[in-house]
A = this chain, B = another copy of it.
Amino acid sequence: MAIKKITAFAPATVANFVCGYDILGFAIEGIGDEVSVSFNQKFENTFALLSNHSELQQLPPEKNVAFEMVKQVQEAIGRTDGIHIELNKKMPLNSGLGSSSASAVAALVAANALYDNPLSTDQLLPLAMEGERLACGTAHADNVAPSLLGGIVLVKGYQPLEVVSIPVPKHWYCCVVHAHVDVPTRLARKILKTTIPLKEAVVQFGNIAGLIAGIYSGNDQLVSNSMQDVLIEPHRSLLIPYFQEMKKLALGENAIGFGISGSGPSVFALCKTEQQATQIADAIEQLLISAQIGRDVFVSRISTQGAHIL
C-alpha cells in the first residue's frame, strides 16, 4: 500500500495594511510555504527541511514551527502516531511576509488533513497563533489568520479571539518587494513607542474606519486616502533603505497605497490593475538595482483561497 502523503500550501501574507497595525492582513498568491506529512511507522515525529535556509538548518527540529504545529494537532485530537514532516520553505525568513506563519499554517493544514480534518479552521487558528509565539515571541493573528483563511482578514480582537473576513475587491493587484536587508521582527517591534498621543490615535481611527468603509463601498479613492499611517511607519520606515523613494515611485504611478508589509523590510503597493502593479514593480526593481540591493519582486492578486492541500 502506498504511504499516504499530504502536502499543504499556505500563502505569504501582508500584515497591517498600512493603517491597520496588528489588526489587518491579507494573503498573496503564488508565494508561500509547503509542508508534506506522512505516517512514518515510528513512535515519534521526524523532520526534514527541504530548503536551503541556513538559519533553519541550525535549529533543532523540535524548535521548528512546522514540527511544533504537527505536534499540536496531535495533542488536540489525542493521537500519538509518528509523522514525517517535510518543510519545503519557498519564501525568505525575516522578510515581513509572514514566513513563519506560512510554515505554521501549512503544517497545521497538512497534519489536520492527514487525520481527515478533525479540526475546523476556528480550532486551527489558535494553534497557529501559538506557532507565532514560538517563532517571534508574540501570539499575533494578523499573519496566520489571512494565511489560513485567505483574503483580507480583520483580527477584531483577542479577548475573545474574533476574526472577520473582509471582502476582497476583485480588481486589486499587489506589488510586493522584498529588499534583501535585515530587519528582525523583534527590533521592528522595539523601535515603536509604547505610548502614543491620543491625537495621533484619532487620526489612525479615521484612517482605519475609512479603509474598511472604502473596501466595502468599492471606493478606491477612500481606501487610498485612508492608507496613511502616522504611528508605525514613521519609525519602521527608518529601518528600510530607500523606503521614501520606493513610496514616491509607487504613489507617483497612482498606486492606491504603499506601505510596509508587517514589520518589514518588505513593502507593498496596492494597485488598481495588474499593469499598474507591474510598472511599479519594474520601477522599484530598477531603483534597488541601482542601489545594489538584492531583492525579490512579486506581482500578485490578493489570494482569496488561503491555505489548501495541493
Contact = CB atoms under 8 A, between A and B. Distances in A.
A50 interface: no
A193 B195 CA distance: 11
Given A205-B20, A216-B217, A156 B210 contact: yes
Contacts of A208: 205, 208-209, 212
A93 interface: no
Interface string A195-236: 111110111111111111100110000100110000100000
A209 B212 contact: yes
A24 B195 contact: no
Contacts of A289: none
Contact of A164 (B197, B198, B199, B213): B213
Contact of A209 (B20, B195, B217): B20
Given A195-B198, A202-B23, A157 B213 contact: no
B203 A201 contact: no
A210 B164 CA distance: 8
Given A156-B210, A164-B210, A216-B217, A192 B196 contact: no
B20 A210 contact: no
Contacts of A231: 198, 201
A154 B213 contact: yes
Nearest to A17: B209
Contacts of A201: 196, 201, 204, 231
Nearest to A203: B157
B166 A206 contact: no
A8 interface: no
A253 interface: no
A199 to B, nearest CB: 8
A194 interface: yes
A155 interface: yes
29 contacts: A22-B202, A23-B205, A154-B213, A156-B206, A156-B209, A156-B222, A156-B225, A157-B203, A157-B207, A157-B225, A162-B210, A162-B222, A162-B225, A164-B210, A164-B213, A166-B213, A193-B198, A194-B199, A195-B195, A196-B197, A196-B198, A201-B201, A204-B205, A208-B208, A208-B209, A209-B209, A209-B212, A212-B216, A216-B216
Interface of A: 20-24, 154-157, 162, 164, 166, 192-199, 201-213, 216-217, 222, 225-226, 231
